[in-house]
Amino acid sequence: MKKYAVIGLTVLLLAAAGCGQTVTSNQPASQGAETQANQAGAITIRDFADRTITFPSPPKKIVALANGEMDIVYALGGELVGRPTATGPVAIQSAEKLPQVGSTHGIDLEKVALLGPDVVLGNQPMNMKDITSVEGIGSKMVLTSANSIEDVKKQISLFGQLMQKETKAQELNQAIDAKLKDIQSAASGAKPRVLMVYGAPGTYMAALNNSLSGDILVASGGENIAADYPKLENYPQYAQLNTENIMKSNPQLIVLMSHGNSDKVKEGFLKEMQQNAAWSSLDAVKNNHVEVLPNDLFGTNPGSRVAEALDLMTKLLQSVK
């Protein structure tokens, strides 16, 4: 009897062990299913720095370091928790009272940390150096840039993917394409010669065609007289002003752009021109075709409002024909 009792006890123990193994094996399977579900809702994007970034869900708390990125977020139907620092009026009124967190030139990391964003929208390559710091406060960084109209469209598509607003992103890009098509179909005659000057008081540079403003000019039907000027090493979208070459090209229109006070930039630039009598011989000066462009459309990336920038530039070009 003892022998049978021992055998029976052994069988019960083995059975119990088998049940224990079944429970243990079910736990990882359940966790695996949950992980797969999370991965199914995840969003993976590739930013302009060729970095692959994954979010478990569309980011709700977004910080932007530049106006163009801010505009696109709101144009897509989203909102920010922190906006770029600005000295002038904010184009998006609903964002005016948001905390200001610095810019692509310098992030206020302490303010960003207090906001605890899911993502910070920065510039490629200017904010590459800030990725580690931003990740250190528990946020992720997405880098883009806008040196052409096509870049702006790519920004819109990327943010649309990030925010799960792809349909709206398509609509915005289609509106830009429609504007470009209208301009091209209406183009006729010779292209007006234009000098695009970007500056702050005492510092002036000519915008090249590989800059967003230069691309807008060309797309609007203008000829950039500085297109072949040597680019600056630190600012490859711009070149030094060359008075001799400007005189030879004789621009019909001179447009001024600035991040800061446009009136002061124009005043300073006109003073510089007055110091060199040769400028007075230019068609643009003789015909009073020296214009200051709006900061929110040309002094910075206008985002989805690039269509407005195209409209304005087209009208200016038509005025000098």
pLDDT tens digit sequence for 230-266: 999 988 999 999 889 999 999 999 999 987 666 777 7
pLDDT the model gives residue 270: 76
Alpha helical stretches, state H, 41-104: 67-75
Largest CA distance in the chain: 123
pLDDT tens digit sequence for 135-183: 999 999 999 999 999 999 999 999 999 999 999 999 999 999 999 999 9
Q: Which residues contact 46 (CB under 8 A, 6 or more apart)?
A: 52, 53
pTM, two decimal places:
0.84
Give the residues of the chain that fall short of pLDDT 70: 1-40, 200-202, 260-262
Alpha-carbon distance of 268 to 247, in angstroms, equals 20
CB-neighbour burial class of residue 41 (10 A; exposed 0-12, middle 13-18, buried 19+): exposed
For residues 254 and 284, the answer to whether their CB atoms sit within 8 Å is yes
Helix, strand, or coil (residue 66): coil
Alpha-carbon distance of 151 to 161, in angstroms, equals 15
Q: Which domains, and CATH codes, for the chain?
A: 44-179 (3.40.50.1980), 189-319 (3.40.50.1980)
Query: Torsion-angle region of residue 84: left (phi > 0), alpha (psi -120 to 50) or beta?
Result: beta
pLDDT the model gives residue 27: 39
Helix, strand, or coil (residue 203): strand
CB-neighbour burial class of residue 109 (10 A; exposed 0-12, middle 13-18, buried 19+): middle
Helix, strand, or coil (residue 187): coil
Intra-chain end-to-end CA distance of the chain, in Å: 116
